[in-house]
Amino acid sequence: MSKKNKKPQKLRARQPRGFVDREASDIRATNTMMAKIAEVYERYGFDPVEMPMFEYTDCLGKFLPDSDRPNEGVFSLQDDDDQWMSLRYDLTAPLARHVAENINDIQLPYRTYRSGYVFRNEKPGPGRFRQFMQFDADTVGAPGVQADAEMCMMMADVMEALGINRGDYIIRVNNRKVLDGVMEAIGLGGDENAEKRLNVLRAIDKLDRLGVEGVRELLGEGRTDESGDRTEGANLDADQVQQIVYYLSDKEWLPASQTFADGHGELTKIEELVRAGGYGQDQINIDPTCVRGLEYYTGPVFEAELTFKVKNEKGQEVVFGSVGGGGRYDGLVKRFTGQDVPATGFSIGVSRLMSALKNNGLVAEDSVKAPVLVTVMDKDALATYQGFVQQLRQAGIRAEMYQGNPNKFGKQLQYADRRGCPIAIIQGSDERDAGKIQIKDLIEGRKQAEAIASNEEWRESRPGQFEVAEGDLVAEVKKLLEAQG
């Protein structure tokens, strides 16, 4: 066979790994959820702001690798001026850049919220995506812990605005200074112990899953789980391990550290403020095991955790867990300005929170009906049919004119059924000459058709169909839609 006659290969349609397509019902449910979240933010006096999805890679800070192509953790490309740009990894670094770039024009404290997709150039897995949505709120330029307390109260209000019952969520609060003070007290201060401190924090973060004894093993030589997998420990000595266990057990242990004392004092003030705001321990709770991603946090940290149980992929009941969190990050803006600009905020994982609402039966079915379908019986009357569509749309009714091949009318009704259309509008030449329209109640018609045995009987009864004057089209369609509920 000559090359000239060789058929070109078809392009294979395939979705990139770690990315998902979203359908109408999920989009509408998410939009409804986010509108409720935004309503809470607005009530607290926050204003929306939006930044681009791309940032210059050096502005993203800690994600820069030492390589020719800076794409470790982020998706990057080179601009035409040879500068590297990356898709944003989160919504916090872009905010820090925005504030620094406009520091002379922004009114501090700067209280904003924003939502959007973020991108992680990481290996995808079950429940782990490369693109997902976050919804953040931040206060920049407020040094006092009252701003941190407000974040915790706002997180609690968001949970309840979404219908999550008290007792099904908890806002856990801790302080980076407290954790740093504990590390100093056991001899793990200084840059030379940074990696060991990180291992200790990772062990503490597993307390709710492994218990005190499991954490004790991870603080020491390591732990082997039931499957035989081995996790190396932080290799602390027995005294260091015991002091951390004391801390986790909420004992009256006050390390001889000014950093710890400062952090403990801030937590005490936050607790005083949230209690004065009417929030109980079952809503916002000081928790020494809260070890929120601490790379850039400098003070209070907090996490919104859902406490109801769901089944995992193995069918086991597990606590749903975290749906968002944040903390104080006083150093991010300083990277650009060289001057201290205090900031605090939190981020909600939109997809994870939506999954939680679905698991708890808090997502209503899609309430948006499919459009009314105006069928096409006569190609020469397209202008008339278009007029019907516009009348319905101008009355606030979703409507569309059939856009496929109109030669086979049955195909049009099949389309309406598959689309879920509640009503079909039908006008042939006889109806047009008489100034009439046939309105077909597709929902009732389906019910009646199921009870009819023969095609002949179906044709005679014309289930769910009636005739009205052209001038009554909108009124009759409205009446029928209301009757359908």
What pLDDT does 401 receive?
97
CB atoms within 10 A of CB 445: 20
CB atoms within 10 A of CB 28: 14
What pLDDT does 255 receive?
76
What pLDDT does 63 receive?
52
| Sequence-ordered strand ranges (E) for 197-342 | 222-224, 230-232, 284-286, 300-311, 317-328
Q: Which domains does the chain show, CATH number per domain?
A: 18-143+330-368 (3.30.930.10), 165-300 (3.30.930.10), 372-484 (3.40.50.800)
Contact between 327 and 296 under an 8 Å Cβ cutoff? The reply is no
What pLDDT does 70 receive?
63
How far from the centroid of its chain's Cα atoms is residue 345's Cα? 16
What pLDDT does 8 receive?
77
Q: Any bridge partners for residue 317, and if so which? A: 311
pTM of the model: 0.85
Contact between 63 and 73 under an 8 Å Cβ cutoff? The reply is yes
Quote helix, strand, coil % in the chain, to nearest 5: 40, 20, 35
Contacts of 98 (CB under 8 A, 6+ apart): 49, 51
What pLDDT does 111 receive?
98
Task: Look up residue 274 and give its DSSP letter.
Answer: H
Q: Of 272, 279, 244, nearest to 260 (Cα)?
A: 244
Going from the first residue of the chain to its last (485 residues), give the mean pLDDT of each consecutive group of 10, the final group possibly shorter: 68 92 92 96 98 92 56 86 92 95 94 96 82 96 96 97 94 92 87 84 82 89 82 88 84 76 94 97 92 80 90 72 93 90 95 89 86 95 96 97 91 93 95 95 76 60 82 96 89
